[in-house]
Chain A
Amino acid sequence: MMDTMRDDPTLVALVLAARDGSQTAWDQLVERYAPLVYGICRRHGLAGMDVDDVGASVWLRLVERLDTIREPAALPGWIATTTRNECLRALRARQRTIPAEPDERLAADDPPFDDWLVAQERGIALRAAFAGLPDRCRRLLSLLFADPPTPYSEISAAIGIAVGAIGPNRQRCLDRLRRDPALASLLDGTEVAR
């Protein structure tokens, strides 16, 4: 699972820096994977303190494992598996009925875990690539992907470019996003149901 992360040089660099004691690198790892850990907890129907407990447990175990992770690129898979196990443990501790398949707790329209994980992987790469864009691009794209989308007249006023320049700028920023190496390896034309 998540094998495409093997191509992500940023991730390898972050793990190596954290191993050398860099809190900044560690913070970036947390920023990158917190949505994955949190999302897995929510998928297992956990809330409140249970989610905090699972989170604490996963991060503390990861701090432990930093020195022994042989293949830093295997980290996302390790995080997903560890989080899933901790969620099941939390459910057992609460003596709730455990379904044979964790997916049985889900709403009928939620995708299966493996598909969901692939979408998460794309989300992680998208956010990392987005974070690497210039401020101007991040502001423009944020206004454009807002739900509901911001009208062009408001975008024009907010960031001071002509309405006619929004389309070309949007394209330039998205092209730049696509050039992110880790994201490029994932964007092979497939689209994943979220």
Chain B
Amino acid sequence: MSDDSLLEELGAAVRDAARVPESFRAAGRAAFAWRNVDAELASLTEDPAAVGTRAEPAALRAFTFAARELSIEVEVTADALVGQVVPPRPGRIELRTGTGTVMASEVDEVGWFAFRPLPTGMFRLYLQTPDGSQILTEWVTL
């Protein structure tokens, strides 16, 4: 490759990077704050199943997140996010959004919890059980 072509390709590459808005990079750097090495990650086991029809903008969906010893089942209803910890156990659960807001809710004795109103955009759940386990789900987007 000649010096001229190398210089030209380098210039194009540097200009490409200069087109990326600084706010886009800043959001990327800030994402590192979400790192949590103490919690076990629960992954999404099923693709979100669309129950509604295409004409409905807020199609009903269900998700299952699986950790080693428990799973968290979540359903999207018209006005809330409801779910159950399986096998049932009580605890405290948080809904954390991509923009950094946190809603907390109690998980009752049969493992049920609910969040109202429905979150918009990306969110994840963070469960703490009385025995000290911490479960953090993958991010999902409604």
Known: A30-B29, A145-B8. Is A126-B13 also a contact (CB below 8 A)?
Answer: yes
> Is B138 located at the chain interface by the 8 A CB criterion?
yes
0/1 per residue, B1-34, Cβ < 8 Å to A? 1010111111111111101110111011101101
Tell me if A78 counts as interface (CB < 8 A to partner B).
Answer: no
Q: Which B residues lie at the A interface, using CB under 8 A?
A: 1, 3, 5-17, 19-21, 23-25, 27-29, 31-32, 34-35, 37, 41, 54, 57, 98, 121-122, 138-139, 141
Q: How far is the CA of A174 from the CA of B15 in the complex (A)?
A: 18
Output the nearest chain A residue to B30 by Cβ-Cβ distance: A59
Q: Is the contact region of chain A dominated by helix, strand, or loop, or is it mixed?
A: helix
Q: Count contacts on A: residues with CB < 8 A to the other chain.
A: 52
- CB pair A60–B98 under 8 Å, yes or no, is yes
> Which chain B residues border A59 with CB–CB below 8 Å?
27-28, 31
> What are 18 A-B contacts defined by CB distance under 8 Å?
A23-B29, A30-B31, A34-B28, A37-B24, A55-B27, A59-B27, A60-B122, A61-B138, A63-B32, A63-B35, A124-B13, A127-B14, A170-B7, A174-B3, A174-B6, A177-B10, A189-B1, A190-B1
Q: With both chains docked as a complex, state the minimum distance between the C-beta of A80 and any C-beta of chain B, in angstroms.
A: 15
Q: Is A52 an interface residue (CB 8 A)?
A: yes
